[in-house]
Amino acid sequence: MELLHPIIQYISSGFTWFVNHAMNLYYDIEMCFSRNVSMDTLLTIYWFLFLVEFPRYYLLEIFLSIRYAVLKPFRRKLDNKARIVLYSENPLVSILVPGKNEGKHIYKLIMSLKEQTYTNYEIIVVDDGSDDTTPYICSNLEANGFIDRYVRINDRAGKAGAANLGAQFARGKYIVHLDADSSLDRDAIEKILLPFYVDNKVKAVGGCVKVRNSKQNICTSLQALEYLKTIMVGRIVTSEMGIYHIISGAFGAFERETLEKIGYWDIGPGLDGDITQKIRKAGYKVKFANEAVCMTNVPSSWYRLYVQRRRWSRSLVRFRIRKHKDILLPNRNFRVLNWLSNMESIFYDCICNYMWFYYLIGLLFTYTDRLLEILVMGWLIRLFFAFIAFGVIMLVTERPKEEFRMIKYLPLSTFYTGYFLRVTRLIGYTTEFFFFNSYRDKWNPRKTSIWAQAEVN
């Protein structure tokens, strides 16, 4: 009870602060725009924000994040018990690092692994047809004992093919898949293994990926803020609901026996979301480990970011709607949580983007004479909600002091997530629906894309 009292007080004072500031915002908006837009029409004008976005991306996340924070002492106890079992068993972990032309990143990754609190691991690096100095660098690292096994593929097979080859050499009970340009917190391997020992039905765990080059420019800073909102908070929420549906390829842990049963990674882009679906369909649980932190580099130019996110969007259509459509249909393997997991992603990430486009066109034609005022008012409302979302981030993050500096990017984040990402996703979804563009994406070798077309034939 002593613990609950300050938490209840904190929630109560936070709610009071929210109501007071909401009313102040209301009066400010009314004063500014009452001549052209009455408060009676706010719900009509901003129906998409209040009826679609707010319930999912604000209300639900606030409730489940507070619950997550309140239950932290309980999770600590479970983790401490799991840690005792983990270290008493001390299983070998195979760290798998597939990639092309990643030699410049490998040494930094290896150094972060050398500092891990969990030390019983082997490192397997798979060179997927690199044409730079990667073979020389990795061969030297292997010769000097920094890498346990270096495997080279002369004819590029794609990331999934490289991961599958590396998995054949893995001897560990668990396989940790890492991107070569990642680096880990000192206890990341330990913490990503704990959920396996908290619940033996868990067969795959996703780590929390954050942006390492966040200070490089505005583009990377906005991505860093987005990662905190969508990857950290968003995946805490879906994991708590039991509908967590994508283990990031940058940092994920899998039971090796389970990977063997489901046939490892299927070729093609979007392999991280695809393998998560395969594990869920096999009847196993997947979990998100918020405190297992991986730092990674993100695109530093808007064009590279656009290409990356367009590819991610195509993967949603290719795998969730096309390849794994059986999850959405009643069949003998039907599971409600799997259906909800896929539908949540399809509805909010895909369908709602088309709804948003319809909503935007409606605004353009219906409120032409006061469009600027409506857009400014919408930005103010979204900015207010963005501050609320940032408060949620501060509630659940393990490094609030370091990440609080991101608050200054909130005014720009509404344009980044509200327009740039939405337009990019729309292009990705539409081109994949009608033209199957993921099978011509240069990110994946042409030979494997041709083979993968059997999915839709």
CA dist 264 → 67, 254, 272 (Å): 35, 10, 11
CA distance 141 to 96: 15
Q: What is the pLDDT of residue 177?
A: 97
For residues 244-270, average pLDDT: 91
Q: CA-to-CA distance for 167 and 256, rounded, in angstroms? A: 8
Half-sphere exposure of 122 (CA within 13 A, CB side): 16
Of 36-40, 217-221, 321-325, 375-379, highest mean pLDDT: 217-221
Name the residue with tokens 């968003």.
234
Dihedral of alpha carbons 20, 21, 26, 30, sign: positive
Sign of CA dihedral 317, 318, 324, 326: positive
pTM, 2 dp:
0.90
Strand order in the sheet with 285-296: 149-153, 121-128, 93-99, 174-178, 251-255, 202-211, 285-296, 182-184
The pLDDT value recorded for residue 374 is 84
The reported pLDDT for the residue numbered 447 is 73
Look at residue 238 and tell me whether its pLDDT is greater than 90.
yes
8: pLDDT strictly greater than 70: no
**Could you count the other beta carbons within 10 Å of the beta carbon of residue 248?**
21
* 266 touches 275 (CB < 8 A): yes
Longest dimension (CA), the chain: 75
Q: Report the chain's mean pLDDT, rounded to a whole number.
A: 90
The string of pLDDT tens digits covering residues 397-441 is: 999 999 999 999 999 999 999 999 999 999 999 999 999 888 888
Q: Which of 409, 7, 392 is nearest to 237 (CA)?
A: 392
Answer yes or no: is pLDDT of 214 > 90: yes
- Cα distance between residue 205 and residue 253, in whole Å: 5
pLDDT greater than 70 at residue 12? no
pLDDT tens-digit series, residues 109-130: 999 899 999 999 999 999 999 9
pLDDT in tens, 148-201: 999 999 989 889 999 999 999 999 999 999 999 999 999 999 999 999 999 999
Instruction: Answer whether 180's CB lies under 8 Å from 105's CB.
Output: yes
DSSP string, 203-260: EEEEEEEEESSTTS-HHHHHHHHHIIIIIIIHHHHHHHHT------TTEEEEEHHHHH
Q: Is the pLDDT of residue 38 over 60?
A: no
Torsion angles phi and psi, residue 390, rounded to 5: -65, -35
Are 184 and 112 in contact by the 8 Å Cβ rule? The answer is: yes
* pLDDT at res. 178: 96
Res 367 pLDDT > 90: no
Residue for token pair 């501050």:
387
Whether the per-residue pLDDT at 51 is higher than 70: the answer is yes
Q: Which of 289, 287, 91 is nearest to 187 (CA)?
A: 289
The pair of structure tokens assigned to 212 is 């390492």
Q: Which two tokens stand for residue 301?
A: 């130019």
User: Which of 222-236, 267-281, 306-320 is the least confident region?
Assistant: 267-281
- Residues found in the chain: 457
Using DSSP bridges, classify how beta strands 149-153 and 251-255 pair: parallel, antiparallel or unpaired.
unpaired
pLDDT band, residue 329 (cuts 50/70/90) = confident
| d(C-alpha 42, C-alpha 412), whole Å | 23
